Amino acid sequence: MGRHGRDPRAFRVIGYAACSLNDKDYLAEIDAQSQEIEKYYVERLKVNLTSWRVWGHDVPQGTFDIWHDDFCGELTFRQRRRGKNLIYRLQKGDYFLIASSRNSFKNIRDLLRTVKRLIDKGVRVHILDMCLDTEKETGKMILKAIQTCANFKAGRGVKSWNRGITVL
């Protein structure tokens, strides 16, 4: 048995649906995201996961669960009530399905930092509204492109700020 008393070969699939409490359709948005996660799990992942074999042995399946979170747009993923708990609980081999990148992260840097931390732990991240699957080369390429754009924008901001100082 591994950490948390679970078979280390078992995996979990955890979905994450988030919406601001300021959104007038909060419950409808959470429900729509949850349905999107369930559909993705059934249509895309479950087919692949049920046939997993490691060294000729069936891999015991873990659980499927969706976590709901309300948030304030000023909080990073780690500062959110469920976010910090998920980062701690997700383990190597787990699948993490995020319905909405817009609702789940404060900004691009928060997205990149969180996804990198989870990938480093061995978690397989899928961001559904971006069609991002970190297990595939295209997903890795999309992350690198986002990182490049974020770095470019940050560099331009510093240059503009420095230019403004020299004008004064």
Question: Average pLDDT, stretch 158-167?
Answer: 48
Determine the 3-state secondary structure of 110 from DSSP. helix
> Between the CA of residue 139 and those of 46, 104, 130, 134, what are the distances in Å?
19, 18, 9, 5
Helix boundaries (H) for 56-136: 81-89, 101-104, 108-121
71 class by beta-carbon count within 10 Å (0-12 exposed, 13-18 middle, 19+ buried): buried
pLDDT digits (tens, 9 = 90+) for 52-108: 444 444 445 557 788 888 776 788 899 888 888 999 999 998 999 999 988 888 888
Determine the 3-state secondary structure of 18 from DSSP. strand
pLDDT digits (tens, 9 = 90+) for 14-61: 899 888 777 778 888 889 998 998 888 878 776 455 544 444 444 455
